[in-house]
Amino acid sequence: MGESNFSNKNMVWYNGTLIPYKDVKIPILTHSLQYGSGIFEGIRSYPSSSGSNVFRLKEHMRRFLNSAKIYGMNLGYNQEQLFDAVIETVGANKIKSCYIRPFAFIDDDSISISTKGKKVSVTVSVIPYDSIFGVDKLKGIRCKVSSWKRLNSSILPIQAKASGNYLNSIVAVNEAMKLGYNETIILSGNGYIAEGSGENIFLVKDGKLVTPGDDSDVLLGITRDTIITIAKEMDFEVVLRNIHRDELYNADEIFLCGTAAEVAPVIDVDGNMIGDGKAGEITSKISGAYDKTVNGDNQKHPDWISAVEF
């Protein structure tokens, strides 16, 4: 995303009220800023003829509430109220193609670590957005297996989408970028493939899609679930199992997927060319079906789209 592309005109939903972005003032000692104790979501909304279509908002709000529950944060809003907050914020900002960032944090500037009894604030921000990997996404991206291991649920709750978890992603992606790669692939502590810094991973071998299972050390992405569902509907076999590192090098195709990344073909891992070094045929089919689905053109899943009119 690079430098802020947030204009002063943007409105942020802050504990139930829409206020200009420039008027949000957070004290420097705020607990979540100091200790990484925020929880968040990343949601996409795509242009429609009458405004914008938010993709799988219900599922994102469910995960947001689950993250809050894991950390004992009482958000003070239920799933429907949070859903409405996102719809209201997208409508107020009138940005057709955007990334939506619900964020809840410990809004307290005392320096003690425990969150007990501390105030929780909830915000929703909307950012104009197109693509995370830019032109590299079409060409295919180059990935480096990280020397850092993925955190696991004996260290931190991995199904909570919490700010602090991203330090693990940051060291890994920074290492990969320093070496000239676009993205990292992180192994779990037991040496199997986990995920990217902010994406799940699939490989394609002999016409089948393979991705780490629900019991692996990965965030169970909503895009991952979307792809498993639509790939099965397209009659692809999808296998959920542990993946060894060397299987990456021999894969016919690899792609990363996430709300921001969508379906991003991987054409190189650690300097080894994947397939013929171009976005693979099955990856392209899945990517096309994903684009159709998020744009509201998949008749099988009208419930995944929430229209905002403006």
Active-site residues, by number, are: 161
CA–CA gap between residue 225 and residue 179 (Å, rounded): 31
CA–CA gap between residue 187 and residue 151 (Å, rounded): 9
Binding marks (x or -) toward ligand PMP, 40..69, rule CB under 6 A? Answer: --x---------------------------
* Beta carbon nearer to ligand PMP, 11 or 259: 259
Binding marks (x or -) toward ligand PMP, 154..183, rule CB under 6 A? Answer: ---------------x--------------
CA–CA gap between residue 267 and residue 281 (Å, rounded): 12
Residue of the chain from 39, 222, 248, 254 that contacts ligand PMP (CB under 6 A):
222
Phi, psi angles (nearest 5°) of residue 287:
-60, -45
231 binds ligand PMP (CB under 6 A): no
The least CB distance from residue 158 to ligand PMP, in Å, is: 8
* Beta carbon nearer to ligand PMP, 102 or 258: 258
* Beta carbon nearer to ligand PMP, 42 or 296: 42
Closest Cα to residue 231, out of 197, 251, 203, 194?
Answer: 203
* Beta carbon nearer to ligand PMP, 53 or 259: 259
Question: Using CB atoms within 10 A of its CB, is residue 207 exposed (0-12), middle (13-18) or buried (19+)?
Answer: exposed
Q: How many residues bind ligand PMP (CB under 6 A)?
A: 13
Phi, psi angles (nearest 5°) of residue 238:
-120, 125
287 binds ligand PMP (CB under 6 A): no
Buried/exposed 60-84: b ≥16 CB within 10 Å, e otherwise: bbbbbbebbebbebebebeeeebbe
38 binds ligand PMP (CB under 6 A): no
* Beta carbon nearer to ligand PMP, 195 or 253: 195
286 binds ligand PMP (CB under 6 A): no
Question: Using CB atoms within 10 A of its CB, is residue 246 exposed (0-12), middle (13-18) or buried (19+)?
Answer: exposed
259 binds ligand PMP (CB under 6 A): yes
CA–CA gap between residue 122 and residue 162 (Å, rounded): 14
Instruction: Tell me which amino acid residue 309 is.
Output: E
Both tokens assigned to 179: 């070496």
275 binds ligand PMP (CB under 6 A): no
The least CB distance from residue 244 to ligand PMP, in Å, is: 20
Phi, psi angles (nearest 5°) of residue 157:
-70, 110
The least CB distance from residue 257 to ligand PMP, in Å, is: 6
265 binds ligand PMP (CB under 6 A): no
Residues 180-219 within binding reach of ligand PMP (CB under 6 A): 195, 198-200, 219
Contacts with ligand PMP, residue ranges (CB under 6 A): 42, 169, 195, 198-200, 219, 221-224, 258-259
